[in-house]
A and B are shown apart, each in its own frame.
Chain A
Amino acid sequence: MAEADGVRRRDFINIAAVSAAGVAGVGIVVPLVSQMSASADVLAASSTEIDISSIQPGQAIKAIFRKQPVFVRNLTPHEIEEANKVDVSSLRDPQTLEQRTKEGKTNWLITMGVCTHLGCVPLGAGEGEPRGEFGGYFCPCHGSTYDTAARIRKGPAPKNLEVPVYEFTKDTVVKIG
């Protein structure tokens, strides 16, 4: 390249060398950062089948999905009525019970047992555990209170208990994930 162009051979070498070092730097950082993400075996173990035939109305069980608890609750007609009575627009995370359950199976409330505040397991799924003033779940860590549709009603949690992806493979079997 001629000097008259204003671009010297030395400038080209400088830019090429710095660019190559930059690309190499990114190439080193990407694997170092991404190795910390969930590995393939963690991502693979992600569906669970649950037999729900023995859960009576008013009862709930804790199952395990992705190493975290899932609550499967058989709602009583009274609890369904309580959930439907609420003015949805007044909720922090507005959702109806219908939106949180499968059609025709409104009594089966399946949610993650992970408080949306900081991830504790709320109480209420086990026999005799406190269920909070709204009759759903109560998180003892920071006092988040969920209603009978597991919607956040009081306390610091920002969202309703998460409803995982699931389907009824049979009338009595749920596949989560």
Chain B
Amino acid sequence: MSFPWAKEYKPSHPFMQWMDEKLPIPRLVYNAVGGGYEVPRNLNYFWNFGFLAGLCLILQIVTGVVMAMHYAANTAVAFDTVEMTMRDVNWGWLMRYAHANGASAFFVVIYIHIFRGFFYGSYKAPREMVWLLGVVIFLLMMATAFMGYVLPWGQMSFWGAKVITGLFSAIPLVGEPLQQWLLGGFAPDNAALNRFFSLHFLLPFVILGVVILHIWALHIPGSSNPTGVEVKSESDTVPFYPYYVAKDGWAIGVFAILFCAMVFFFPNYLGHPDNYIPANPMSTPAHIVPEWYFWPFYAILRAFTQDFLFIPAKLMGVMAMFGAILVWFFLPWLDKSPVRSGAYRPLYRKFFFFGLLPAMAVLFYCGGAPAQEPFVMLSQLAGLYYFAHFLIIIPIVSAIEKPDPLPFSITEAVLGADEEAKLAPSPSATVA
């Protein structure tokens, strides 16, 4: 699981030696995030976001378990128990604001983490499985976040639940029975609220499980790095502890400052005032929008306004919305370029910065805007580019592009010269 020069775990205390024989958890931790895990020496700050994502997950689980101690999943009292948590429970306001903004923080971190992967080709062999598991985590996060937003049973909670489960009714034949099965009724009600609570509690632990698989899969080839050149020798790496533990600690500090600024000074900035109105099944709010982290995909959903051949517009929108994420599963095979990092891919880099990022920005903006022109047309254009980027542009670019020359090794990229390169210029020095 690691490079031959990685230090072995050698417990000195008799108790730790005894433990290592019976249940070698300290060894596992040492090899996973301790001195035994050798990491490329040239990671930039974008590599801090995986660690921060793990931190967000723990933050959400801790604040969430606390919130659940004061919450009742019943339509008659759910809204009131959340308000009571805010007003009467000791520090309840802090727990709720930390949990609600924690969800947003988690998505900020995860979007940066994903786009880091896009730019540096982290999805490419030998790390395809890391990427696939990451997409699974993202899908689970979206389901968890959606169900969590329903729990306060405000107007946005109710109508969000209705609209999102309404997506399933677009599926031919089984759609409506499926929607009723998901909700346990004809519209969101007690049955739906209870099951959403149950699943909202369960899924974070499923995410935790998949995160462990994600890290496990990562540790087999080892971490990628900004050059995309694989590790060749000992001079290319430093041990995770203390080097990256210290760097991640610094990242925690920056994250905590920004997060606390949100929680203490703008706790409702990312929320919707309508969700402080109790759910009313008789009246839809004038402007329904999901939480900001769903906006790009919501924009794609709404971009379809015309039936296409025999497929109704509604079904097209739903398929495109799910397809926008599912296409990520195929990315390791759509991008055939042997060069991983965008830093050495001039053409890919242009499409990333002047195509994908602006298209995402437009989709983000339009997803939160009302369903009117010009936002519908902008969503259509940006959505079209989004799919073209993954399905057409990336395969073509990876076939025709002439990449810049790669450094011999990470050490050469960092120091300008690698002693090993002079001694053994053949790539056979590579160690798996």
Contacts and interface: CB of A to CB of B under 8 A. Distances in A.
B184 A119 contact: no
A69 B159 CA distance: 14
Interface string B154-184: 0000010011011101000000000011101
Given A42-B189, A156-B317, A36 B195 contact: yes
Contact of A38 (B169, B186, B286): B186
Interface in A57-114: 62, 64, 66-69, 92, 113-114
B313 interface: yes
Nearest to A157: B314
B314 A39 contact: no
Interface stretch (B132-140, B277-285, B388-396): B277-285
B187 A67 contact: yes
B191 A68 contact: no
Contacts of B162: 118-120
Interface in A36-62: 36-39, 42, 62
B428 interface: no
Contacts of A157: 314
B371 interface: yes
Nearest to B282: A69
Contacts of A117: 166, 314
B302 interface: yes
A141 B285 CA distance: 8
B166 A119 contact: yes
Contacts of A22: none
A143 B370 CA distance: 9
Interface in B308-327: 312-314, 317
Interface in A129-177: 139-143, 155-158
A119 B169 CA distance: 10
B288 interface: yes
B166 A36 contact: no
Nearest to A42: B185
Chain A, interface residues (CB within 8 Å), range: 20 to 34
Contacts, number: 87
Given A118-B166, A158-B312, A142 B371 contact: yes
Contacts of A42: 184-186, 189, 191
Contacts of B191: 38-39, 42
Given A66-B186, A155-B305, A143 B372 contact: yes
A38 B281 contact: no
B304 interface: yes
A27 B307 CA distance: 42
Nearest to B75: A67
Contact of A141 (B169, B185, B371): B371
Given A67-B185, A158-B313, A38 B180 contact: yes
Contacts of B187: 66-68, 114, 119
B350 interface: no
Contact of B283 (A38, A66, A67, A121): A121
Contact of A140 (B195, B287, B302): B287
A62 B283 CA distance: 10
Contact of A156 (B165, B282, B288, B313): B313
B163 A118 contact: yes
Nearest to B180: A38
A142 B302 contact: yes
B300 to A, nearest CB: 13
Nearest to B306: A156
Contacts of A140: 284, 286-288
B302 to A, nearest CB: 6
Given A69-B281, A120-B163, 16 more contacts: A36-B195, A37-B181, A38-B180, A39-B184, A39-B191, A42-B185, A42-B186, A68-B186, A118-B163, A118-B169, A119-B162, A119-B165, A119-B166, A121-B283, A121-B284, A141-B288
8 contacts: A33-B181, A67-B186, A119-B166, A119-B169, A120-B159, A140-B284, A141-B371, A156-B314
Pairs A-B, 6 closest by C-beta atoms: A118-B166, A119-B166, A120-B284, A118-B163, A121-B284, A158-B312
Interface of A: 33, 36-39, 42, 62, 64, 66-69, 92, 113-114, 117-121, 139-143, 155-158
